[in-house]
Amino acid sequence: MDRQTQRQLFDILYALAARDGREAALFGRSLSFAREAFARSIASELFPEVWFEIPLAGDPWFDLHLLTSRDALNPGMVFSAEDTGSHPQVFEWFAKQEGVRQLALSWDVGKGNTTLPAVQVLVTKSDPEIPCSFLRAVGQSGLQDAYRTFTEHMPHTWFACYTGVFPNRECNFVRVECIPSRRMQHVYAQDASLLEAHLRQIGICDLGKTIVSRCQMLARLPFQIEFQFDVMPDGTPGPTFSASARFACPPGEDGWSSFDQSGAAGELMKSIETWGLASDRWRMLADTIFAKRITQADTSCILFNFPAFVKLRWRGGEPLDAKVYLLAGAQL
């Protein structure tokens, strides 16, 4: 699929997700920046995985995450700065790796930033050398010890699935996302004291009044939970902590999403609204779900979009905000 066709499909994808008043209510005025960011993130002939990051309260806007699969690349490929968000050396590294799944470029298009994205690697196996190698490739070798220190304190039932850096932000940290095993999630659902102990073990000192109780609530839902940390150079978590619930179905299961406004997902969203972290616009999320076959420039594919995650954030133990992540793409 050539780059022009990919850009056209992105425009159609966005139009379908944002129609019927959803642009004004959910997406805001970030489209022009998103189109530019997308054009700078087409590293292969396969359409990238698209994530729209949307806040659930306040003024509407979105950020854009574009993920390239390792299967879309080969070790002999040559990359340009124009197609990789100015990170060609990271894509060259990624194309030669085993044990990796996706490489993400994350653009702050809600702030109009199309200069330099954040970059993250998603892995398929627990091997600390892969994230450390990634940090060297992205020019952040000084954060390797921070990553190792953090993961050495991580509960052994957690999997560090994601490592990212943000060269477009002033604070120097490495972001690490962790997935507790399903068995451990079930334990957390019953035992808040162990959940609290593990969060303190990883270095969260200020749990405030709601982190443990709300994370336990997430653990009781039929969705996979994930925890996200901004790891400082000394290996300790920074003040911002996130917990997510994944609506997307696990690989191999039928369907793309288990987001059901009348089921567990809807009950969770009502709670988030009650906590003051979401307006009633979350009720438009179900209308963003679609799967449509499109023919564009002799390319026939299925365009799809659905709510995949909801994320709660705290800073210094105090609730900060909530965001939803829409997962979109094109399947040949």
Contact 177, 160 (CB under 8 A): yes
Tens digits of per-residue pLDDT, 281-319? 999 999 999 999 999 888 899 999 999 999 999 999 999
Tens digits of per-residue pLDDT, 183-229? 999 999 999 999 999 999 999 989 999 999 999 999 999 999 999 99
Helix H or strand E segment including 300 = strand 299-315
For residue 262, the model assigns a pLDDT of: 86
The sign of the dihedral angle between the CA atoms of 7, 12, 15, 17 is: negative
For residue 297, the model assigns a pLDDT of: 80
> Can you tell me the distance from the alpha carbon of 63 to that of 325, in angstroms, rounded to the nearest whole number?
10
Phi/psi for 8 (5° steps) reads: -65, -40
Q: Is the pTM of this model over 0.75?
A: yes
Sequence-ordered list of residues with C-beta below 8 angstroms from that of 98, at least 6 positions apart, any chain: none
Tens digits of per-residue pLDDT, 164-191? 999 877 778 999 999 999 999 999 999 9
> Mean per-residue pLDDT for 84-99?
97
> Can you tell me the distance from the alpha carbon of 324 to that of 272, in angstroms, rounded to the nearest whole number?
11
- Nearest-10 Cα torsion for 283, 285, 286, 289: 170
Tens digits of per-residue pLDDT, 119-131? 999 999 999 999 9
pLDDT surpassing 80 at residue 141: yes
Using 50, 70 and 90 to split pLDDT, how confident is the model at 332?
confident
